């Protein structure tokens, strides 16, 4: 017989853990910053969906030691190690019930910065169209960078765990930033000042802005809604429950702007549907021109304070994630859940038209496109294998598979450069960055700007002359490369810089930029 021995110290630990009351410890030590229901206040929400975004030290260490450069204090002198361990497990437990988060609750969170005063012209001498925002996730800030001199014009605090790319107003003056726990922040680039914030969801995925710049859409996991905000004052226009044709609620995994269609495209996480929502209350019905009456029957009208938003469902075989759109927004490619296929959907006729063999989980949201030999092609990295796929978007054939030093996450290019850049985000070669010729599809150079560090996410200046690269580490850097010679020009220390977003490239949907 094998006898399991339990030491006295283990029994003491188990007894201490059994006696711990994490709900009381949370109420007494955490609720003032993180909210009585763990849904966030001045601090972020402490629910599994948000905590998964936390990088670096584990949760117990954060509770015990605090977190540098934030308002998170250390509790090692207040709570025993056993009580901290039980509290950490309590915070990882899903909420028993998701509270209501409709227009009334959202409106109560609206805060406009009393120190903000709009400038009549930019308060700096830099080209406002060549400003680049650098998201620094290490301490939850954004740096505002002059794209000509690479001087940091401002550095402002963001909500916790910014998720998804910031979205600019069509004139490039304002930018909207979203956090994983649903806060939306508006910032005035001309004035270099925050305008205000509002909490549009409890756990959110990303945002999209309408072509006219009047409406901001927020895709939510919790609750299962799409929130539409007025970009003028962050007021609520509409909270749209996301319920499939069969009557089942679904999370929204992403929302995208389709500018030529004057619409938002929604990817549903839990149901086999894609939604299209008109962004202009006076737009032509999105079903105009359809020949089948059943497609007209899928259209619904939802009244909002701004007018009539038409909604259309496209039924598909299974839920799709991570959309790539062709330049005319006629087609989208979504990743199938089996991680081995891309599915092409024609948005005009509202049905699937092709499948692509894309093993290794394609990251289509980072896909880019360009002209090659007179034909439009697109490229996508793969999250689980060291390959890039090049696809002909006219006949939906895979033209070539490029072997890389490991799985990648981001691709980027520019209309004024002959190359596209691909990182190797995962695995032992995470410090590698491939520069690939867009015509020959050959790797022309592999850069290793910081050996052993994760190097990722490239953005170009407005003219494509310089490529900006992130050293994705706590004590990281932004590296400026000459996009022609591929030589390093400058290095700026930054706190885990992740995404970088150039105003001009984003508002013009520059070629080589994922949309």
Measured in whole angstroms, the distance separating CA 503 from the mean position of its chain's CA atoms is 17
In 3D, which of 397, 408, 515 has the Cα closest to residue 456?
408
Q: What is the CATH number of domain 8-91?
A: 1.10.760.10
Helices then strands, counting H and E runs in the chain, come out as 9, 34
The H or E element containing residue 507 is: helix 503-507
Across 358-432, the runs of DSSP E, i.e. the strands, are: 368-372, 375-381, 387-392, 397-403, 411-413, 419-423
Task: Round to whole Å and give the CA distance between 181 and 481.
Answer: 34
Largest separation between any pair of C-alpha atoms in the chain: 83
Contact 229/198 with Cβ under 8 angstroms?
Answer: yes
Task: Report which DSSP code applies to 410.
Answer: -
Contact 38/99 with Cβ under 8 angstroms?
Answer: no
Task: Round to whole Å and give the CA distance between 255 and 201.
Answer: 14
Q: Say if 8-91 and 104-122+158-271+273-315 have the same CATH topology.
A: no
Q: Would you give the end-to-end CA distance of the chain in angstroms?
A: 64
pLDDT band at residue 13 using 50, 70 and 90 as cut-offs: very low
For 194-233, b where at least 16 C-beta lie within 10 A, e where not — what string?
A: bbbbbbbbbbbbbbbbbbebbbbbbbbbbbbbbbbbebee
pTM of the complete model: 0.84
Checking if the pLDDT of 5 tops 60, the result is: no
Contact 271/250 with Cβ under 8 angstroms?
Answer: yes
Name the more confident of 302 and 184.
Answer: 184
Structural domain spans, the chain: 8-91, 104-122+158-271+273-315
The tens digit of pLDDT for each residue in 322-368 reads 999 999 999 999 999 888 999 999 999 999 999 999 988 999 999 99
Checking if the pLDDT of 176 tops 70, the result is: yes
**Cα→Cα distances 100→39, 105, 224, 305, Å:** 12, 8, 11, 20
pLDDT band at residue 72 using 50, 70 and 90 as cut-offs: confident
Contact 56/474 with Cβ under 8 angstroms?
Answer: yes
The tens digit of pLDDT for each residue in 29-54 reads 898 788 777 877 667 778 776 676 55
The tens digit of pLDDT for each residue in 51-66 reads 765 555 588 888 888 8
Neighbours of 46 (CB within 10 A): 25
Please check whether the domain covering 104-122+158-271+273-315 is classified as CATH 2.140.10.20: yes
Task: Round to whole Å and give the CA distance between 307 and 490.
Answer: 50
**Alpha-helical runs (H) found in 81-223:** 81-91, 103-108
Q: The tokens of 438 are what?
A: 């867009």
């Amino acid at each position: 017989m094998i006898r399991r021995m339990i030491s006295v110290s283990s029994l003491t630990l188990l007894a201490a853990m059994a006696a711990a009351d994490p709900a009381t410890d949370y109420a007494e030590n955490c609720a003032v910053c993180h909210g009585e229901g763990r849904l966030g206040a001045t601090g972020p929400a402490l629910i599994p969906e948000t905590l998964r975004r936390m990088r670096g030290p584990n949760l117990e260490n954060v509770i015990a030691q605090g977190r540098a450069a934030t308002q998170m204090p250390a509790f090692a002198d207040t709570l025993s190690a056993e009580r901290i361990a039980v509290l950490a497990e309590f915070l990882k437990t899903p909420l028993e019930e998701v509270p209501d988060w409709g227009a009334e609750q959202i409106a109560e969170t609206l805060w406009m910065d009393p120190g903000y005063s709009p400038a009549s012209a930019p308060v700096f001498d830099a080209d406002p169209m060549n400003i680049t925002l650098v998201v620094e996730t290490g301490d939850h800030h954004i740096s505002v960078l002059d794209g000509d001199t690479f001087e940091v014009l401002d550095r402002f605090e963001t909500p916790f765990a910014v998720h998804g790319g910031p979205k600019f107003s069509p004139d490039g003056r304002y930018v909207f930033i979203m956090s994983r726990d649903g806060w939306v922040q508006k910032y005035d680039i001309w004035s270099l000042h925050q305008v205000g914030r509002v909490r549009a969801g409890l756990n959110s995925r990303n945002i999209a802005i309408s072509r006219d710049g009047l409406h901001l859409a927020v895709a939510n996991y919790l609750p299962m809604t799409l929130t539409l905000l007025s970009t003028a004052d962050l007021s609520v226009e509409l909270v749209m429950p996301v319920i499939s044709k069969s009557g089942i609620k679904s999370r929204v995994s992403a929302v995208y702007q389709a500018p030529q269609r004057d619409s938002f495209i929604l990817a549903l996480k839990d149901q086999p549907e894609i939604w299209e929502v008109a962004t202009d209350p006076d737009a032509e019905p999105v079903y105009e021109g359809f020949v089948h009456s059943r497609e007209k029957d899928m259209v619904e009208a939802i009244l909002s304070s701004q007018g009539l938003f038409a909604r259309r469902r496209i039924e598909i075989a299974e839920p799709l994630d991570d959309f790539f759109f062709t330049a005319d927004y006629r087609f989208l490619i979504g990743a199938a859940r089996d991680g081995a296929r891309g599915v092409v959907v024609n948005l005009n006729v509202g049905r699937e038209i092709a499948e692509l063999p894309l093993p290794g989980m394609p990251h289509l949201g980072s896909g880019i496109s360009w002209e090659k030999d007179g034909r439009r092609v697109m490229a996508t990295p793969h999250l689980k294998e060291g390959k890039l796929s090049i696809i002909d978007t006219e006949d939906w054939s895979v033209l070539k598979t490029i072997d890389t030093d490991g799985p990648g996450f981001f691709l980027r290019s520019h209309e004024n450069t002959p190359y596209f850049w691909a990182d190797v985000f995962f695995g032992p070669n995470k410090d590698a960055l491939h520069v690939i010729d867009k015509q020959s599809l050959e790797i022309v150079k592999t850069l290793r700007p910081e050996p052993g560090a994760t190097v990722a996410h490239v953005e170009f200046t407005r003219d494509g002359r310089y490529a900006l690269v992130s050293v994705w580490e706590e004590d990281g850097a932004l590296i400026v490369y000459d996009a022609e010679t591929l030589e390093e020009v400058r290095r700026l220390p930054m706190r885990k810089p992740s995404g970088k977003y150039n105003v001009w490239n984003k508002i013009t949907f520059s070629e080589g930029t994922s949309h």
